[in-house]
Amino acid sequence: DAGVIQSPRHEVTEMGQEVTLRCKPISGHNSLFWYRQTMMRGLELLIYFNNNVPIDDSGMPEDRFSAKMPNASFSTLKIQPSEPRDSAVYFCASSPGRAGRGYEEEQYFGPGTRLTVT
């Protein structure tokens, strides 16, 4: 299996521009998570999906952030407009999401997208 795939790996953009980060979860996984990692705040959960449905988006910083999962094999995280404080590494993770087994399931992380907003 190719693992969780994220693109792009690096993104440099100017303040005010729209940024779209992409994620392809492991085939067959039903749960998908978006995290943000910074030196100051550590690893923060932004949003997660079960069976393509957003379950909890309380971690999304503000309305400039939005996430979609149109099908089981693709998700996007969009920032519009972007600001310098959005600079971070964004991780996507997936897990099998099997009914009754969710407690013990590990999350499989992608390599991350390093976003720099100037």
Partner 1 sequence: AQSVTQLGSHVSVSEGALVLLRCNYSSSVPPYLFWYVQYPNQGLQLLLKYTSAATLVKGINGFEAEFKKSETSFHLTKPSAHMSDAAEYFCAVRTSGNTPLVFGKGTRLSVIA
Least distance from partner 1 to the Cβ atom of residue 10, Å: 10
Q: Using CB under 8 A, which residues numbered 25 to 84 contact partner 1?
A: 31, 33, 42-43, 45, 48, 50, 56
For the residues of 40-65, what is the DSSP string, one character each?
Answer: TTEEEEEEEEETTEEEE-TT--STTE
Least distance from partner 1 to the Cβ atom of residue 84, Å: 21
Mark 17-34 as b/e (b = at least 16 C-beta within 10 Å): eebebbbbbbeebbbbbb
Q: Which residues bind partner 1 (CB under 8 A)?
A: 4, 31, 33, 42-43, 45, 48, 50, 56, 91, 93, 97, 99-107, 109-112
